[in-house]
Amino acid sequence: MQTRGIEMSQLYTLVRDTTKLTDVQAKILDHMQVALQLASDISRNQVYLCARGKNDDISVILMAVKPSYTHGSTFFKSGDTRLGEDLAVIENVFTTGRKVVGRMELDQGLTVAVTAYPIVDNAGIPFAAVCFMANSVKQQQVLTDTANLALQVPFSTADYYSIRPQDGVIILDAGGRIIYANDMADDLYFVLDKEAVESRELIGHTIVRLPLVDKVMKTGKPAYGDEVSENMTLSAWGLPIISGGRVVRTVLVLTDVTAIREKERQILVKDSVIKEIHHRVKNSLNTIAGMLRMQARRAKDDDTKEALRRAVSRILGISQIHDILASQSGDKIDMDILLDKITKLSVDSLALIPVNVVREKSRRSLIVDSEKAVPLAIAANELIHNAIDHGFKDMEKGTLVVGTEIRGSDLHVYIRNDGHPLADDFSTKTFDLGLQIVRNLSEIELKGKFSLKNENHMVTADIDCPLSVMEG
């Protein structure tokens, strides 16, 4: 549906340059235009807003809209001008101030049915016309009448729904009696109302078992909802047509969403199962960490105690990641949010000195596949632990920088600390177990690169992973 702000400026420009309409009249058209696409969809016609030009012999096309489910272009375009005699039906509306039905022969030699309605200002003076133009000589007045009424009291853009070819469209009168139903509506509505099935006739049937219709008629506001009948689910959208302060008609759109709702249900089930798996993995890792703690307390050798402590720390780090993933929905996760939580948990649980944490984030959201987020989070967690355990050892305070950015076609994650620098003879050959884990996860699991070096008075760890891999 067209954006109101853009169309408003185009409309005012056309009004100012080509017509004698007042500012108040231009605002009436602007207020009306938000419902123009719906009017075209309901009527299944092209719709034009027209006004007389600065020269009364000229008519100006101010706006042109075609049904959203059709291809091609409109017969006329915004800004087109025609002699009044070429648009006789519209000229008759300006003259009589009434609805006019007729036919028009286009430049292409095509004759089409046309119905035009007057647009009046607050003083009741016709100043413009809305013209419904079919693609043939056939036109259903119940549709153009309803579409014209929908333009008189428009709602906000968010309240409207773009009608599609597979939708069932039903129009009700003020008493809830069906006065129009397209072919698709015949099949869909019979699912909801068994009485209609018995008569096999929708026109003239009164809807009495659809709460959404009652809601629309009572509140005078559009409403959405699902209607479930046996093994079928229909999405229903109701639009009140208001005239004289009351609901005179209701447009009801029905869509078969059975397959969509079933897919959504399956996704919810899958999501719940994944969350439960993450929760159980977390519990299992915590149990293992508890057992290793007990073993560490009984160990007499300091090297053994330190190795077990490091193992416990590493396991708890992985446990934290699964705890975070257990609270997420879907198979995507925001990597920055995950790193926020990992960093805070690691610093709070491991740091023995004051650590100034600096989080530097990418300008764009880093939504990644949760399956790839796990190895990246484990690697980042290991580097944060390494900075706290080794970089800040025997120091009074430290600064830890955890950042993300998009660098070319890669996701770049970096962890820096101002602790003890790497030894001059440091190389990848001297990697301990933790750094070997980081390198393997980065290069094998994520198809990326890992480096660790002294840079600008800080120890900097860089992980670069292809975005194509991270985004799945």
Enumerate the domain spans of the chain: 4-157, 164-256, 258-330, 332-472
Q: What is the pLDDT of residue 173?
A: 94
- Per the structure block, which two tokens stand in for 211? 């709460």
Mean pLDDT of the chain: 87
Q: Pick the range with the lowest mean pLDDT from 2-6, 204-208, 303-307.
A: 2-6
Contact 356, 398 (CB under 8 A): yes
Residue 4 scores a pLDDT above 50 = no
Q: Phi and psi dihedrals of 258, rounded to 5?
A: -55, -50
Q: What is the pLDDT of residue 101?
A: 94
Over range 179-201, report the average pLDDT.
71
Q: What is the pLDDT of residue 397?
A: 93
- Per the structure block, which two tokens stand in for 175? 């008493």
Residue 365 scores a pLDDT above 90 = no
CA atoms of 15 and 41, how far apart (whole Å): 25
CATH architecture, range 332-472? 2-Layer Sandwich (3.30)
The torsion angle over the Cα atoms of residues 464, 468, 469 and 472, rounded to 10 degrees, is 140
Over range 55-79, report the average pLDDT.
90
Over range 244-261, report the average pLDDT.
89
Beta-carbon count within 10 A of 320 CB: 22
Q: What is the pLDDT of residue 9?
A: 63
Q: What is the pLDDT of residue 192?
A: 64
Q: For residue 278, name the pLDDT band (cuts at 50, 70, 90).
A: confident
Q: Pick the range with the lowest mean pLDDT from 10-14, 59-63, 241-245.
A: 10-14
Q: What is the pLDDT of residue 239?
A: 93
Q: What is the pLDDT of residue 423?
A: 87
Among candidate residues 268, 176, 272, 261, the one with its CA nearest the CA of residue 227: 261
Q: Pick the range with the lowest mean pLDDT from 13-27, 309-323, 335-349, 388-402.
A: 309-323
Beta-carbon count within 10 A of 462 CB: 20
| Orientation of helix 335-350 relative to helix 302-326, angle to 10° | 150
Q: What is the pLDDT of residue 196?
A: 53
Class of the CATH domain delimited by 4-157: alpha beta
Residue of higher predicted confidence among 452 and 259: 452
Strand order in the sheet with 46-52: 81-83, 58-65, 46-52, 126-133, 111-120, 100-105
Among candidate residues 452, 381, 444, 369, the one with its CA nearest the CA of residue 411: 369
Residue of higher predicted confidence among 404 and 302: 404
Over range 435-442, report the average pLDDT.
92
CA atoms of 103 and 141, how far apart (whole Å): 14
Number of helices and strands (H, E) in the chain? 14, 18
The owner of tokens 């439960």 is: 276
CA atoms of 101 and 88, how far apart (whole Å): 11
Contact 225, 219 (CB under 8 A): no
CA atoms of 22 and 5, how far apart (whole Å): 19
Size of the chain in residues = 472
Over range 430-450, report the average pLDDT.
89
- Per the structure block, which two tokens stand in for 429? 């050959």
Residue 199 scores a pLDDT above 60 = no
Indicate the CATH number for domain 164-256.
Answer: 3.30.450.20
DSSP category for residue 98: S
Among candidate residues 346, 358, 359, the one with its CA nearest the CA of residue 388: 346
Residue 231 scores a pLDDT above 80 = no
Q: What is the pLDDT of residue 5?
A: 44
Q: What is the pLDDT of residue 444?
A: 93
Estimate to the nearest angstrom the gap between the alpha carbon of 99 and the chain centroid. 40
- Per the structure block, which two tokens stand in for 348? 């709070």
Q: Pick the range with the lowest mean pLDDT from 312-316, 355-359, 401-405.
A: 312-316
Q: Pick the range with the lowest mean pLDDT from 103-117, 180-194, 212-226, 382-396.
A: 180-194
Q: For residue 98, name the pLDDT band (cuts at 50, 70, 90).
A: very high
Residue 1 scores a pLDDT above 70 = no
Residue 252 scores a pLDDT above 70 = yes
Residue 459 scores a pLDDT above 80 = yes
Sequence letter at residue 331: D
Within 13 Å and on the Cβ side, how many CA atoms surround 52? 17
Q: What is the pLDDT of residue 6?
A: 41
- Same CATH topology for 4-157 and 164-256? yes
Over range 297-309, report the average pLDDT.
86
Q: For residue 200, name the pLDDT band (cuts at 50, 70, 90).
A: low
Q: What is the pLDDT of residue 31?
A: 85
Residue 120 scores a pLDDT above 50 = yes
Q: What is the DSSP string of 136-182?
A: SS---HHHHHHHHHHHHS---GGG-----TT-EEEEEETTSBEEEE-
Residue of higher predicted confidence among 124 and 197: 124
Residue 201 scores a pLDDT above 90 = no
Residue 71 scores a pLDDT above 90 = no
CA atoms of 378 and 387, how far apart (whole Å): 14
Q: For residue 349, name the pLDDT band (cuts at 50, 70, 90).
A: confident
Q: What is the pLDDT of residue 198?
A: 52
Q: What is the pLDDT of residue 2?
A: 43
The torsion angle over the Cα atoms of residues 321, 322, 327 and 328, rounded to 10 degrees, is 80
